[in-house]
Amino acid sequence: MKFLTTDYSSPETVGQYRIDGERKLRIEEYRGKVGLSDLRSMIAAMSSDPCWSSDHHGLVDFTDAELELSANDVLRLALMLRQEEHRSNGWMVFAVGSPVAYGVVRMLGYWSRNTDRFRIFPSRDEAEKWLRKNAAHHPPAFPAAGVPDTAARMRDAI
């Protein structure tokens, strides 16, 4: 299995990602204090990676992270996720380690109009277990690749 990664050994790095093309999965891991600029940089790097696909599922691990985001920061991040070049059509599964992170992810799902495909778990093990069980099924309103996305377009028009 081949992984691409941004895993730098620098202590200042708050996040890293890996893309597993065989499993159609991208994994983001964060630690320490994480702000809007950190998350925006990670999203921009991932979506410009040649192995990135909008059809990949995402596993985001915030269990070791302390999210420092205002409501306005979450809205800005949500708007970025709604842009076509950063939009993902797969499941977005989050592992959170605090009630604050849980609330931030809920706001992010709501403001990015992705509540139907966001799943939040208190541990990475639970998140991975759920994703293994459901990875073969596409989220509601996001059809499989090659299938017309009429339902998704209708949902965004409302």
Per-residue pLDDT of 64-83, as tens digits, reads: 999 999 999 999 999 988 88
Question: How is residue 132 written in tokens?
Answer: 């293994």
- Please say whether the dihedral angle defined by the alpha carbons of residues 108, 66, 17 and 70, taken in this order, is positive or negative: positive
Of 64, 111, 49, 53, residue with least CA distance to 87: 53
pLDDT tens track for 96-137:
999 999 999 999 999 988 888 899 999 999 999 999 998 888
Whether residue 9 is predicted with pLDDT greater than 50 in this model: the reply is no
Six-digit token string for 102? 């849980």
Give yes or no for residue 55 having a pLDDT over 80.
yes
Domain regions of the chain by residue span: 3-157
| pLDDT attached to residue 14 | 86
Q: Are 56 and 93 in contact (CB under 8 A)?
A: no
Round the average pLDDT of the chain to a whole number and report it.
Answer: 83
What is d(CA 72, CA 80) in angstroms, rounded to the nearest whole number?
13
Q: Which range has the worst mean pLDDT, 24-33, 49-58, 64-73, 100-109?
A: 49-58
pLDDT at 155 over 80: no
Q: What is the CATH number that goes with domain 3-157? A: 3.30.750.24
Cα distance between residue 28 and residue 54, in whole Å: 15
Query: Got the DSSP string for 60-125?
Result: EEEEEEEE---HHHHHHHHHHHHSTTT---S-EEEEESSHHHHHHHHHHHHHTT-TTTEEEESSHH
- Rounded average pLDDT over 24-39: 93
* pLDDT higher than threshold 50 for residue 1: no
Token pair of 147, please? 């299938």
Please state, in angstroms and rounded to a whole number, the distance separating the CA atoms of residues 71 and 131.
Answer: 28
- Band (pLDDT 50/70/90 cuts) for residue 150 is low
Residue 11, phi then psi, degrees to nearest 5: -70, -20
CB atoms within 10 A of CB 52: 19
- Spatial CA neighbour of 101 closest among 123, 79, 83: 123
Judge whether residue 59 has pLDDT over 60: yes
Calculate mean pLDDT across residues 17-38. 92
pTM for this structure? Answer: 0.80
